[in-house]
Amino acid sequence: MLSIEKNTAITGLQIWQCSIYRFFSILCLLIFSSFASKSLYADAFNDIVKSGVLRVGVSLYEPWAFKDDNGDLNGFEIQMARQLASDLGVEPKFIVIEWPELINSLESKKIDVIISGMAITPERALRVNFSNPYASSGIDLAASLLKTKHIESLEELNDPKVLIGVVSKTVPEKLAKKLFGRATIKSFNTHDEVRKSMLDGELHVWIDSAPIPRYLALEYPEKIDNPLNEPLVGYKAGMAINKNEQELLNYLNAWITARDADSWISSRRKFWFESLDWKHK
């Protein structure tokens, strides 16, 4: 009996000690998780506010972002970023990056956010966190009047003799390869390079985000046509930030919601995408 009682007492003590140990372990884990969560999710947002600077990655193409006659950055995304920074109480610092390097620059911490008309895709979402969409757009095409004068349907573009220009690592590039896999697809690093090749008469077709093809046709009606009544496919654009930056993501989503509700975003889109008035200012 004595032996049994002794063992029972020891077992009860061990259980009590184990419970206390587990309690403190869980408490420590919760405290650590709290600090870890703050360091993971709050640092990027807090660093931006403390530094007073929001580093914005952009790629140049009208009317999203471009340099005007004075050499100053202008465009829909530039106005978006300036208003975002102003509401946040910081200054925007624009860093111009070629399109294929935007996400790499974000991941290497050279910039805080990408605001460059980037389409939200599952593939990109594996590498970055997207904000709520702030714009809807589509993929359109511009055609050389001279080179496509004998082409009467989209199916005829799917031919090895047809040269299609796209910007590398973009949704239009993937779409072109999917829809016109037999055509010759030529990828460029910048929109300016595709534009020049198109105007020089090298390309049959340029596939890119609307309204770039339509604007090119409006500027050069003697050379370029915009034959489609509707885009090839639609997409939604969002701002992109690094993974595990929840506080910054929360702010971007709140900002987009507020500026969408007061029609500021829609008014800016109308100005930049539904007319060429901005070209004359």
- Over residues 23-44, the pLDDT tens digits come to 445 544 444 444 444 444 456 8
CATH number of 43-134+238-280: 3.40.190.10, 3.40.47.10, 3.40.50.1980, 3.40.50.300?
A: 3.40.190.10
Residue 268 CA to residue 280 CA, distance in Å, equals 16
Question: Which helix (H) or strand (E) is 237 found in, with range?
Answer: strand 233-237
Q: Is the pTM of this model over 0.85?
A: no
DSSP character at residue 118: P
Q: How confident is the model at residue 133 (pLDDT cuts 50, 70, 90)?
A: very high
Q: Which residue ranges does the chain devote to CATH 3.40.190.10?
A: 43-134+238-280, 137-235
> For residue 270, what are the CA distances in angstroms to 117, 166, 220, 243, 277?
15, 26, 22, 32, 10
CA distances from 278 to 30, 69, 74, 242 (A): 54, 12, 10, 32
Measuring CA to CA, which residue among 14, 62, 44 is closest to residue 106?
44
DSSP assignment, residue 37?
Answer: H
Q: Do residues 198 and 165 make contact, with C-beta atoms less than 8 angstroms apart?
A: yes
CATH homologous superfamily for the domain 137-235: Periplasmic binding protein-like II (3.40.190.10)
Beta strands in 131-232, from DSSP E residues, in sequence order? 135-144, 163-167, 184-188, 205-209, 224-225
The per-residue pLDDT for range 45-82, each reduced to its tens digit, is 999 999 999 999 999 988 899 998 889 999 999 999 99
**How far, in Å, CA of 235 to CA of 231, rounded?**
10
pLDDT digits (tens, 9 = 90+) for 236-266: 999 999 999 999 999 999 999 999 999 999 9
